[in-house]
Amino acid sequence: MCGDQLCLGPVKFQGNCGFCWAFAAMGAMEAHHTIIGARNKAKPVQLSEQELVDCDAASGACPGGEAVHAFQYVTKDGIASSTSYPYMGVNGTCNATPREDFILRGFEEKTPDDEYALLSAVTYGPVVVSMAVGENNTDFRDYEGGLYTKDKQCGSENDHQLLSVTISTPTFSRTPMEMISAGP
């Protein structure tokens, strides 16, 4: 809990397009805004994934992008609320007004495969993680929650991004990793 409200916004459905990067990035920004804002009773925000899809040229829209580009876009240009720029689930034309009262002052990329860095980061709030799901991974496509174990067949190239709110490692046995993601 962040004061008297939840730190995370609602689970959202991305549909069949490769917008996981936009949902993961917005989820992280919304949660950190709520965590930091709880000290001054700031209201939670719901930011526009659709603006990223339509306006962030570096991310690649529907075929898939990267959260790092979303963070760079919001740092430079700001972002609209999901109410003023609602999610449509398809590529559209950029129409990014009005802006939400939201400032992203920065972000940090961690070294891949560094469990200690991930544990340290997730201690302060949700983080975006990348994983190699694999093109035809129906096990992951049907994932509904709980611990996704290594005995599942995965790909070799990072092709999915999601929001991690906690972590479980062999060294730090905490609660299972919860992933907020939907669609392929």
CA dist 99 and 47 (Å) reads 10
Q: What is the pLDDT of residue 153?
A: 63
CA dist 13 and 28 (Å) reads 16
**pLDDT tens sequence across 48-69:** 999 998 998 887 777 777 888 8
List the domain boundaries for the chain: 20-180
The superfamily CATH assigns to domain 20-180 is: Cysteine proteinases (3.90.70.10)
Phi/psi at 141 (5° precision): -60, -35
**pLDDT tens sequence across 122-149:** 777 788 887 777 776 667 767 776 666 6
pTM here is 0.76
CA dist 62 and 127 (Å) reads 22
